[in-house]
Amino acid sequence: MTKRIAYLGPPGTHSEEAALRYAPDSELVPYPSLLHVASAVEERAVDEAIVPVENSIHGSITDITDFLIGTQRASIRHELVHRVRNCLLVESGTELEDVSIIFSHPQPLGQCRTYLQSHLPEAELIASASTASAILDLKSNSSTGAAIGTNRAAKIYGLCIAAEGIDANPENATRFLIIAERDHPRTGIDRTSIAFDFEDNKSGLLVSALQPFAERNISLTKVESRPTGRKLGRYVFLLDFEGHRTDHNVKQALAELRRQASMVKVLGSYPRSPYPLTHASEQNKQDN
Amino acid sequence: MTKRIAYLGPPGTHSEEAALRYAPDSELVPYPSLLHVASAVEERAVDEAIVPVENSIHGSITDITDFLIGTQRASIRHELVHRVRNCLLVESGTELEDVSIIFSHPQPLGQCRTYLQSHLPEAELIASASTASAILDLKSNSSTGAAIGTNRAAKIYGLCIAAEGIDANPENATRFLIIAERDHPRTGIDRTSIAFDFEDNKSGLLVSALQPFAERNISLTKVESRPTGRKLGRYVFLLDFEGHRTDHNVKQALAELRRQASMVKVLGSYPRSPYPLTHASEQNKQDN
């Protein structure tokens, strides 16, 4: 049976590009917001959901972590690091020097700022809802324009790539999580994400919470704290580390953490993705 | 002279609402991306810039922290925690039961999902570039629709508020930073933001880097690590703590950290904003 995967639409976004790379043969189902994408797993409308969690053009990760902390019916099953490579897209026949207006999501507009300032300093920049909807905005506009988006979007919407890889930072990458009913069995090269908090907000608490991991040489790959918004001075901590929740040393560290924290939730264990992975367009070449 | 403040436009967004609350008498200048907003300070096109950094509907904070780490000509001068209160906006005369389409940025669409499912389960949800451009999308659409946005946007664009505070989490708040040429002098109730990294990525390093702060009872209010994207296994750490960089104990802790880290950069010291502050609409009442 074909696997159904929820993603933040419309087609042609970096999310769809990542979803195709993760599971080329699956049925991709677009949703209008990250919370709708994640909830589709809870409601069993899809098998899995793919959501961007770092360097995202789609808004804050806060919604997704709150969702994962709150749900009893979804875990992180995979991760995917997808290199973002923005292209300048134009209608066939458009000359670059005639471009007077450029559409994209605010984040690619910012990331391609250096290129735009040196090549198209006079062009007006217009924010769109996504890199894909920027193309629809371009098509419905009467002036000679361009859009910044993926090379997949160029294919879907029949546009020409006037320039490729115009990001200021060529290492620009987005981390995606794949959410499913259950997390992944141990592979030996795993990562685990957890959330925890304390009753109290003493400065030493985080240090002593990290100690069980440091003592066992468990590599922390992400540490994040943020106010819960629920109560003054209450923080929730998010930790990613190498290892599976069924590993002996991870079990011990979690047990020690549970003695100090008021809440510890394992958000999932999953195979570790190398960072950064090969580029999407290399993958596209393999697909074609 | 009127202070000029850069913000992520267009008018009517949560960013503009926060800017008006921060400095009601200033001249607000809209820019098309967060990087354009921050760079306006570097280029002296404005005096200050206001940027959302947590729970943002405007995309990732990564761009802003990278900017702050890289620049020699801008620091954090203020912070502002602004409670977000989304409203359902309609044209005058629209009946709620006739609404067949709803426009907003994906994040408010997600955050108001519960309300929309119980009150308008049949309506189609359409993503827009911002809460302000959702209103323009609503106005140019022929079906009977609604938009989710601020009550200020209702005023600017002459819409009616059909429902107020429709967010699932009534404590929904966004933290904004105000960036200027120099940070703020000591007030006695301050916060400081720093970035640092290590040559190495050993799991114990972060714990020992936090130790100088824990020993001096300096409260950490944010800890974040993320891959730099530049080199495999290299992370940059972002720390917010209570105190000013000129405080004696802060100076000592920073000196100890400098002995361990390969880079330490103070991004700014600034007056601490209580969390969460009073609501924007209360402020609006005072303005009027």
Task: For residue range A165-218, list pLDDT tens digits in order.
Answer: 998 877 777 788 899 999 999 999 999 999 998 877 666 778 888 889 988 989
Using pLDDT thresholds of 50, 70 and 90, give the confidence band for residue A59. very low
Per residue in A158-192, is it b (16+ CB within 10 Å) or e — as a string? ebeebbebbbebeebbbbbbbbbeebbeeeeebbb
Phi-psi region of B50 (alpha: psi -120 to 50; beta: other; left: phi over 0): beta
Q: A interface mutation test: which of B7, B16, B33 has the most A CBs within 10 A?
A: B33
The predicted pLDDT at position A288 comes to 33
DSSP string, A127-145: E-SSHHHHHHHHHT-SS-E
Mean pLDDT of A146-170: 90
Catalytically active residues of A are: 174, 176
- Tell me the pLDDT tens digit for each residue of A98-143: 999 999 988 888 889 889 999 999 999 998 888 888 998 999 988 8
Which of A55, A125, A221 is opposite residue B60, by nearest beta carbon?
A: A55
Q: Tell me if B213 and A226 make a contact (CB, 8 A cut-off).
A: no
- Tell me the pLDDT tens digit for each residue of B217-258: 898 888 887 666 554 456 788 899 999 999 999 999 999 999
Q: Per the confidence metrics, is the pTM higher than 0.95?
A: no
The predicted pLDDT at position A51 comes to 85
> Which has the higher per-residue pLDDT, A53 or B27?
B27
Mean pLDDT of B163-183: 85
Distance from C-alpha of B286 to C-alpha of B71, rounded to nearest angstrom? 37
The predicted pLDDT at position B288 comes to 33
Distance from C-alpha of A267 to C-alpha of A96, rounded to nearest angstrom? 47
Do residues A258 and A62 make contact, with C-beta atoms less than 8 angstroms apart? no
Q: Tell me if B171 and A8 make a contact (CB, 8 A cut-off).
A: no
The predicted pLDDT at position B54 comes to 67
Catalytically active residues of B are: 174, 176
The predicted pLDDT at position A58 comes to 45
Distances (CA, A) of B71 to A1, B8, B58, B182, B186: 52, 20, 22, 12, 22
| Closest C-alpha among B263, B149, B140 to residue B199 | B263
User: Could you tell me which residues come within 8 angstroms of residue B136 by beta carbon, excluding any fewer than 6 positions away?
Assistant: none
pLDDT at residue A281 is higher than 50:
no
State residue A41 phi and psi, 5-degree precision. Answer: -70, -45
Q: Which domains does chain A have, with CATH numbers?
A: 1-83+173-183+274-288 (3.40.190.10), 87-171 (3.40.190.10), 190-271 (3.30.70.260)
The predicted pLDDT at position B59 comes to 42
Q: Tell me the three state secondary structure of residue B143.
A: coil
| Alpha helix stretches (DSSP H) within B123-202 | 131-139, 151-157
Which of A106, A125, A226 is opposite residue B222, by nearest beta carbon?
A: A226
pLDDT at residue B285 is higher than 70:
no
Q: Tell me the three state secondary structure of residue A167.
A: coil
CB-count exposure of residue A286 (10 Å: 0-12, 13-18, 19+)? exposed
| Closest C-alpha among B286, B227, B275, B237 to residue B257 | B237
The predicted pLDDT at position A227 comes to 64
pLDDT at residue B169 is higher than 90:
no
* Strands (E) located in chain B: 4-8, 27-31, 48-54, 75-83, 87-90, 101-104, 124-127, 145-149, 160-164, 173-180, 190-197, 220-227, 235-242, 263-271
Mean pLDDT of B127-143: 88
| Closest C-alpha among B167, B132, B134 to residue B152 | B132
The predicted pLDDT at position A192 comes to 97
The gap from C-alpha A208 to its chain's centroid, in whole angstroms, comes to 30
Q: What is the mean pLDDT of chain A?
A: 84
Residues of chain B with pLDDT > 90, as a percent, come to 45
Residues β-bridged to residue B101: B124, B145
User: Could you tell me which residues come within 8 angstroms of residue A225 by beta carbon, excluding any fewer than 6 positions away?
Assistant: A206, A235, A236, A237, A238, B220, B221, B222, B223, B224
Residues of chain A with pLDDT > 70, as a percent, come to 86
Using pLDDT thresholds of 50, 70 and 90, give the confidence band for residue A278. very low
Q: What is the mean pLDDT of chain B?
A: 84
Do residues A171 and B229 make contact, with C-beta atoms less than 8 angstroms apart? yes
- Say what angle helices A280-287 and A14-22 make with each other, to 10 degrees: 50
The predicted pLDDT at position B275 comes to 54
Q: How far is A52 from chain B (nearest CA, A)?
A: 11
Q: Which residues of chain B does A193 touch, with a Cβ-Cβ cutoff of 8 Å?
A: none
> Which has the higher per-residue pLDDT, B245 or B275?
B245
Using pLDDT thresholds of 50, 70 and 90, give the confidence band for residue A275. low
Do residues A18 and A174 make contact, with C-beta atoms less than 8 angstroms apart? yes
pLDDT at residue B276 is higher than 50:
no
Q: How far is A233 from chain B (nearest CA, A)?
A: 8
Using pLDDT thresholds of 50, 70 and 90, give the confidence band for residue A27. very high
The predicted pLDDT at position A130 comes to 83
Q: Tell me if A203 and B224 make a contact (CB, 8 A cut-off).
A: no
| Closest C-alpha among A68, A73, A18 to residue A239 | A68
User: Could you tell me which residues come within 8 angstroms of residue A72 by beta carbon, excluding any fewer than 6 positions away?
Assistant: none
Distance from C-alpha of A252 to C-alpha of B204, rounded to nearest angstrom? 17
The predicted pLDDT at position B203 comes to 61
The predicted pLDDT at position A224 comes to 83
| Closest C-alpha among A98, A108, A197, A109 to residue A144 | A98
Mean pLDDT of B14-40: 89
Q: Tell me if A33 and B107 make a contact (CB, 8 A cut-off).
A: yes
| Closest C-alpha among A186, A202, A285, A196 to residue A245 | A186
The predicted pLDDT at position A61 comes to 61
CB-count exposure of residue A156 (10 Å: 0-12, 13-18, 19+)? middle
- Tell me the pLDDT tens digit for each residue of B77-132: 998 877 778 999 999 999 999 999 999 988 888 889 889 999 999 999 998 888 88
The predicted pLDDT at position B12 comes to 86
Q: Tell me if B129 and A125 make a contact (CB, 8 A cut-off).
A: no
Do residues B119 and B95 make contact, with C-beta atoms less than 8 angstroms apart? no
Residues β-bridged to residue A125: A102
Q: How far is B182 from chain A (nearest CA, A)?
A: 23
Q: Is the ipTM of this complex over 0.90?
A: no
Q: Tell me if B275 and A36 make a contact (CB, 8 A cut-off).
A: no
The predicted pLDDT at position A108 comes to 87
The predicted pLDDT at position A30 comes to 94
